[in-house]
Every structure is written in structure tokens, then in C-alpha cells.
Amino acid sequence: MESNSSGRRRFLKQAAALAGVAAGAGAGAEWAARGQSAKPEAKPDAQANGSQDHRELLRRGARFSVDHITYYTPLQDYAGFITPAQLHFVQQHSSHFPEIDAREHRLTIHGLVDRPLSFSMDDLKRLPSVSRVHFLECQGNSSAMIHGQGNQNMGLPVQHIWGMTSSSEWTGVPLSVLLNEAGLQKEASWLVYEGADPGKFSHTLPLGKALDDVFVAYGQNGDPLRVEQGYPIRMIVPGWEGPFSVKYLRHIKVADQPYHAWNEAMNHSIPRADVGGKSRWYHFQWATKSVITRPSAGMKLPGRGYVQITGLAWSGGGAISKVEVSTDGGRSWKEAKLQGPVLPKAHTRFTFDWNWNGEEAVLMSRSTDDTGDLQPSRPELYKNWGIPAEDAQKAVRTTHFNAIQPWKIARDGSIQDGMFG
Ligand SMILES: Nc1nc2c(c(=O)[nH]1)N[C@H]1C(S)=C(S)[C@@H](COP(=O)(O)O)O[C@H]1N2
Ligand SMILES: [Mo]
């Protein structure tokens, strides 16, 4: 035990050093290269159950590579605060989606428990359930790299910049119910859990969050989960970065320390100037964000006059309490209307009445959540993160990005991404 744990510490130190080197040598470049190797005309085997129109919308932004499948939600093309399931974004770290026979699928709970357990889908559906609306968001969504100069996404619609977030009503069993069934031992303090996809996508979670509001979902907007969203079951970790919500969930191990699965320690670590260029592994909860989805980049205003501005706001910390809109690049702000229901850790729709006078304009939204957290501008965010001013124009790989999004409107009504000038 003694030698094991010191061995583990040694391993962690080496892993830390490696993560630092890998990130310094350009984990961002690797990410970008993946994007460039994309073949948007390719089609996955598992297909959305949507209409032809919906499929067309998704295909526009799809990216595929040997180890990665990405679909972006067309945020500009739906109303309300629930993302139609067939438009949900997809971030899959394997070449294809697993085809799982739900009748055979089992979820096991083992490790520091009194009774290791194995649940069938029928077992899970017999247990007390909850239905809750929550957003999911990839840790890389809307990041500086996506906006960066020379990046292929530059000037494309909001879908390609902000479309790695979606909101659904998820139904499932609270994880606390399952863990209580298994009986937690007193050293239990962390979970590590694994999906049944080819890459065995795994993640770590502190027990406090697991017992708070996490659940194992089998329903999405009243239907079974889509294959792309983790059929037959996935973890839902409300308000936290996407990778915590492991799809195709099959094993949960209760442990007394965090694990550092590949995607946590390597793939999803980021170098941070404010901690001396070291890599930071965990980011947990999303801060508050908002974005105007209409009008937005790639669209054209038909002429001066009335325009409804609309968008989405959310926070991993709670419910949205206020959204403000600026039409003059942040010089003045006015409060937008929130379309109910306004739910914690869920997208909230806002609207704002505007009369365009035909002159150049810069539209922005900024959200405040019920903990008082205010969405920062990009310079404010970089200041918080200790990113030097001379680097601020560079497309640094800053995941967990929540800066205010400017949309620049020209006199002819055309609209562009104004994040970098
Ligand atoms: N099993 C499994 N779970 C996973 C992933 C994966 O590749 N495999 N991707 C993670 C990441 S990085 C994100 S952002 C979310 C995306 O969920 P979605 O594909 O349902 O939108 O799932 C997470 N859970
Ligand atoms: Mo992600």
C-alpha cells in the first residue's frame, strides 16, 4: 500500500511534467490540426432522427477525423430554451459511435463500497427518477482559438463559434440513490467512471458533487437518449464542463483520490500564464456566459428598422438573474427580457427590441447569474487569467472561455465576428 501510493505519487509527478511539456509544445496546434483534417462531407453511421432539414443544418458544421466526431448546434436556427435533440452538439472522442444493446448493457459500481452492484436498464428504470433541464457545454466552446485570425471558422455563423453547447430535459436516477444502494465506505471521496465507447472515455469526479445533483440519465426531451448523446445511459453533471458527463456509462469506481485519465491529464489540460506556464487539469464549473444568436455573424440585416435581438444565457453556478444588451460596442447597456422559465444550470432565452438606424453597430450581450457573477469582456477575462496584453491578439488555447461576444454590423447590414477587432 505504502509503496503503491508513493509509486502513484511518482507517476503523478511525471504525468504533471509531461502534461506541461506536451501543452507547451502545442496541444493547441494538435487540436487545430484535427480541425483541419476534417472531412465535412463524411457522414457518421448513427444518424440523427431528425428531418432532412435538420440533418442538413448539422452537416454544415460537422467535422470528422480518425479519432474525433464533432457536430455544432445551429444556435441561430431554433427558438425557446430546449435544443431539439436532433440538433444537440456532439463531441465524440472516437471514430464511430458504439452500438449498444440496451438489453445487455450493465452499469457496475465497485471500489470503496460495501456491496458492488450491477444494474440492468430495467433495474435503473425501477428506481426513483428526476427530470431536469440542464445545458451541456464542451470546455472548448467559444474559445479564443475558434475566433483566431487565420482560423477556418473565422467569419462563420454563431453555430461554429458557440455551437458546442445545448440544453435538454434529461431524465434519470440520482447518482446518490445508486451510491447509497452500494453503500459508501468511509474513505470514499472521489469517483472515476468509464464509458463503453472504443476509447473508454473516463473521468474523475469529487464525491461531494456526485452526491449533490448528478444523475445517470436515460431520457432526453422525453425520448431515450440519442445514440450520439450516450444511449442507453450517460452521466449528467449539471453546470460542469462537458467531459464530466461521460456517455455510454458502464463502470463507476469509488476511490479515495482523483484519477488522471488521459483526456483529463493530457487532452484537456491547458497551459496557464497565471500559474507560471504550468498546466491546469481541472476547471469544473462553468462561469456565466451569454451570446446573441440572432442577428449574428454570417447573417445580413435586410434594412434599417425594427429587429428583435435574441440569444441564450446560462451559468454553471445557478440561474440567470439578468442579461444586458449593448448596441454600441459596450459603451451603454440596457436590460433584456428573460423568457421564462429561468432554470438553474440551463439555457435561458432573452430578447431585446431594437431599431437599427442603418449605421455601423456592435451588438453584445452580458449575463449575470444569481451568485452575482458577471460575464467579463475579453480584456477583463485575460486580465483575470494573467495573459499579457501583447498575447491578447493571439489565438491562445484558452478553454473555459466565457468572454462577451461582439457582432459587428456594417452599413450594408452584413455581420461579422468582432472578437478580435
Ligand atoms: N463516453 C464518452 N463520453 C463523453 C465524450 C466521449 O467522447 N465519450 N466526450 C465528452 C466531451 S469532451 C463532451 S464536451 C461531452 C459532449 O456531449 P455530447 O456529445 O452529448 O454533446 O461529452 C463528454 N462525454
Ligand atoms: Mo468537450
C-alpha cell read off for 39: 472531412
- Comparing CA positions, the residue from 263, 197, 234, 244 lying closest to residue 46 is 197
Q: Is 136 in the pocket of ligand 1 (CB under 6 A)?
A: yes
Report the separation in Å between the CA atom of 25 and the middle of ligand 1, taken as the mean of its atom positions: 25
DSSP string for residues in 81-145: SSPPGGG--EEESSSS-----TTT-EEEEEESBSS-EEEEHHHHHHS--EEEEEEEE-TTTT-HH
- Comparing CA positions, the residue from 295, 408, 417, 405 lying closest to residue 352 is 295
Q: Is 209 in the pocket of ligand 1 (CB under 6 A)?
A: no
d(CA 235, CA 175): 9
Residues 6+ apart with CB under 8 A from 52: none
Q: Is 91 in the pocket of ligand 1 (CB under 6 A)?
A: yes
* Predicted pLDDT of residue 99: 92
- Span 132-138, average pLDDT: 97
- Comparing CA positions, the residue from 352, 362, 348 lying closest to residue 405 is 362
Residue 135 has pLDDT above 80, yes or no: yes
* Predicted pLDDT of residue 15: 34
C-alpha cell read off for 415: 455581420
Per cent of the chain over pLDDT 90 is 65
Q: Is 97 in the pocket of ligand 1 (CB under 6 A)?
A: no
Beta pairing partners, 348: 313
Residue 305 has pLDDT above 80, yes or no: yes
Least confident of 56-65, 144-153, 247-256, 339-348: 56-65
379 compared with 34, residue with greater pLDDT: 379
* Cis, bond preceding 295 (omega within 30 deg of 0): yes
Ligand (nearest to CA of 247)? 1
- Span 233-261, average pLDDT: 95
- Span 297-303, average pLDDT: 94
d(CA 105, CA 216): 14
Burial of residue 177 (number of CB atoms within 10 Å: 0-12, 13-18, 19+): middle
4 compared with 153, residue with greater pLDDT: 153
Sign of the torsion angle spanned by Cα atoms 268, 229, 346, 299? positive
CA atoms within 13 A on the CB side of 396: 22
Report the separation in Å between the CA atom of 91 and the middle of ligand 1, taken as the mean of its atom positions: 5
pLDDT digits (tens, 9 = 90+) for 268-282: 666 666 677 776 666
Ligand (nearest to CA of 244)? 1
Predicted confidence band at 11 (pLDDT cuts at 50, 70, 90)? very low
Predicted confidence band at 217 (pLDDT cuts at 50, 70, 90)? very high
* Helix, strand, coil share (%) of the chain residues, nearest 5: 25, 30, 45
**Ligand 1 atom at minimum distance from 248 CA:** 1
d(CA 229, CA 222): 14
- Residue 16: what residue type? A
* Predicted pLDDT of residue 77: 93
Top mutation candidate among 83, 93, 170 for ligand 1, by most atoms within 8 Å of CB? 93
146 compared with 175, residue with greater pLDDT: 175
pLDDT digits (tens, 9 = 90+) for 333-353: 999 999 999 999 999 999 999
C-alpha cell read off for 399: 478553454
Report the separation in Å between the CA atom of 89 and the middle of ligand 1, taken as the mean of its atom positions: 10
Please, are residues 418 and 407 in contact by the beta-carbon 8 Å criterion?
yes
- Span 63-74, average pLDDT: 78
Predicted confidence band at 263 (pLDDT cuts at 50, 70, 90)? confident
Report the predicted TM-score, pTM, of the whole model to 2 decimal places. 0.85
Category of 318 on φ-ψ map: left (φ > 0), alpha (ψ -120 to 50) or beta: left
Q: Whose CA is nearest to atom 14 of ligand 1?
A: 138
Residue 220 has pLDDT above 70, yes or no: yes
